[in-house]
Each structure stands twice: as structure tokens, then as C-alpha cells.
Amino acid sequence: METLKISDCFLLWFMCSTVLFLNALQPCFAFTSFVFGDSLVDAGNNDYIFTLSKADSPPYGIDFKPSGGHPTGRFTNGRTISDIVGQAFGAKSFPPPYLAPNTQANSILGGINYASGASGILDETGVLFIGRVPLREQVNNFEQSRSYMVEVMGEKHTMEFLKKAIFSVTIGSNDVLNYFQPTIPVFGNGKVSPNLFQDFMVSNLTIHLKRLHLLGARKFIVVGVGPLGCIPFIRAIKLLLSGQCSAKVNELIQGYNTKLNGVLDQLNQELGPEAIFVYANSFDIFMKIIGNYHQYGFEDANEPCCGGYFPPFICFKSSGTNRSSALCADRSKYVFWDAYHPTEAANMIIAKGLLDGDESVSYPINIRELYNYNS
């Protein structure tokens, strides 16, 4: 009979102790979230790659209290929607970026954030920014995290753990933006029709969702693309007057969102009730904010708080006080933080709608109901 080495005994002891430890602490870490997506939910992954898409310098993060107002890689002035949702369920910290050092252990506690600015559903999206982590690679990274979980907890405990976690996917905006930018080589003169492009996005996203399901994901939030035709960047490049939106851009998005909602409904029929896919209608929520911004306490729904309304749309603050981009006086009064992203104030309204909204906002159930969902 082969004798166990001291190192083997230690590993066995460590794994058993970890499982017991996690079981004892489960009430303290009741909310576990795995976040996938683009710059709307990136928590700092792009800080660890060579890319032109970064939010690692002031004034980004100026209102993010956990960092004392220092940049964290989030592409807004404060919290993202996923941050706010996590706090609503009692999370005391946020899922760390996957690419940050020593984050694997957090996968069995509060989750991990895999999102990457400039990324898309399609691998080629964001190529002009050089570095980014496309959704396909984000899922690959989760698979690596899952291997760690199995090593620590075993396959059975890992599946039980993942069954209770929430998987949020917020992606597609950069695919649409690239489609409408003629300077992007892979989206250039040979563009497919808007209808085919919508189908291409939906079919590729479905592949990644099914792969996550195979890896153990059961509770999904899939966020539709917002009204990009109304963001300052599109208004500027389309030379639209203040208050106007690009109907062409928003029509493509609405067509995509409708198809996405239909596919998620089909996945619920095929894989439910053990798995559930929630469609988050961010488009309608954001359009209501823009159309009625005064009712929400905003003073400006057109210009960005930081970076200005004209190219190159750069939001920055130099270490020297003489070189900085324009920054609004009161960030809570602006819908847009920069030319692409909402302020924390707008994110709070969107998060509240998704948490407690009816089926017109979150279908078939809202996020609060998803949190309590047991198949």
C-alpha cells in the first residue's frame, strides 16, 4: 500500500478545511456574482493589459467611496450597475477583476468580474483599442476559475455553489458602435445588413451562454443593449442637434434586443426550470431617464460631465493642475459621465429598475426574484 506524503496530507487537510470553512461562512457570503461584459461593468481588468481603453487615471472613480475617490478601472465616476445590485443584496465588497493578482480564492467567496472595456460579443470588436478581453476569452477565464473551485471543493460542491450564484452578462454595445464606425476595417465596406448583424450577435452570444450553462451557471441576467443612438459620442459623430438621437442606431439595437429576448425565452423553455435566463431591458429604462431627466433630478441629459461633447472625447486630469479635460461642477446632475458611459447617479436608477421592475423591464422575473429563485 502506497503511503501518503506529508504534502499530500496537507493538501487533503486544506481542501477539507476549506469546504467546512465555506459551509460555515455561507450566510456571510450570501450573494455571489460572476460578471461578464464590457466597460459598463469592467471593474479594472483593462488595468492589467496593454490597451487604449483604460479608466485608470483621475477623475474616473472620483465618487467611488471604497477607493477613496481613486481610479479603480471602472469607466464611470462611481459604482457600476453590477456594484449597486450586489450592495442591494448585502455584499460588503465587489467581485475583483479576474486579471488582478491573487483573485482566484475570491471565486469561492463573492465571485469574480471578468468584464473588459472595448470588448464585444464578436472577437474582432474593439480591435482599434488593441487590448481587450472578448466574451469568448472571458468565458475561458471563468473555466479556469471553475477548475480552481473543483480543486478546492470538488465537482459536486462546485455545482451546488454555482447553482446559487448569479451570472450577469452586459455586452453588445461595442459591437453596435463598431458596426456604425466606417473606419473599423473588419466592419468596413463589406458590412452585412442590420438584420443579419443582429442575428450574428444573437447567435454568438447564445453559444457563450450555453457554454456557461454547461460549466454550471444556472441563474442568468442578460442585459440588452441600451439606446446608444442617444449617447454623446453618437450624437457628435452623427452631427445631431442637442436632444436628438440617431434613429438608425436605436432601430438596430431594438431589433437586436427583441431577438435576444426571444432567444432567452427559448432557452428558458429548453433548460428551465433548473436554469433561468432573465432579460434586462436597459433600453427602455434609459430612454425614460433621457426623456424625463428633470423628473429624476438631472439637469443635463445631453452633454457628458467629463471630456466634452467633441472629439477626442477624452476624460482626464493631469497630475499637473494645468492640463485637464472639462469636468462638470455637480456629477449627480448629469446622466452621462463621459461620451459613452452613464454617471453613478444614472446607474443607480437603472439598477433600481432592474431589481424591482415588472416584466416590461425584467423578464420573466426581476433580479430580486432571481436572487431568491430556487428551481
- Do residues 51 and 118 lie in contact, with contact meaning Cβ atoms separated by under 8 Å? yes
Work out the burial of residue 199: count CB atoms within 10 Å of its CB; fewer than 13 is exposed, 13-18 middle, 19 or more buried: middle
- Give whole-number Cα distances, 160 to 44, 107, 145, 281, 320, in Å: 28, 14, 15, 29, 52
Active-site choice (33, 39, 53, 116): 39
Cβ neighbours of residue 350 closer than 8 Å, sequence gap 6 or more: 81, 282, 285, 286, 289, 342
Chain centroid, CA 83 distance in Å: 10
Residue given cell 429563485 in the structure block: 373
Nearest C-alpha neighbor of 119 from the set 131, 133, 98 = 133
Does 356 participate in catalysis according to the annotation?
no
Does 7 participate in catalysis according to the annotation?
no
Does 338 participate in catalysis according to the annotation?
yes
The SS3 call for residue 300 is strand
Cα separation of 20 and 98, whole Å? 25
Active-site choice (47, 116, 213, 341): 341
| Paired strand residues for 362 | 280
- For residues 261, 262, 266, 267, the Cα torsion angle rounded to the nearest 10 degrees is -30
Active-site choice (38, 47, 175, 338): 338
Question: For 149, left (φ over 0), alpha (ψ -120 to 50), or beta?
Answer: alpha
Catalytic sites, residue numbers: 39, 338, 341
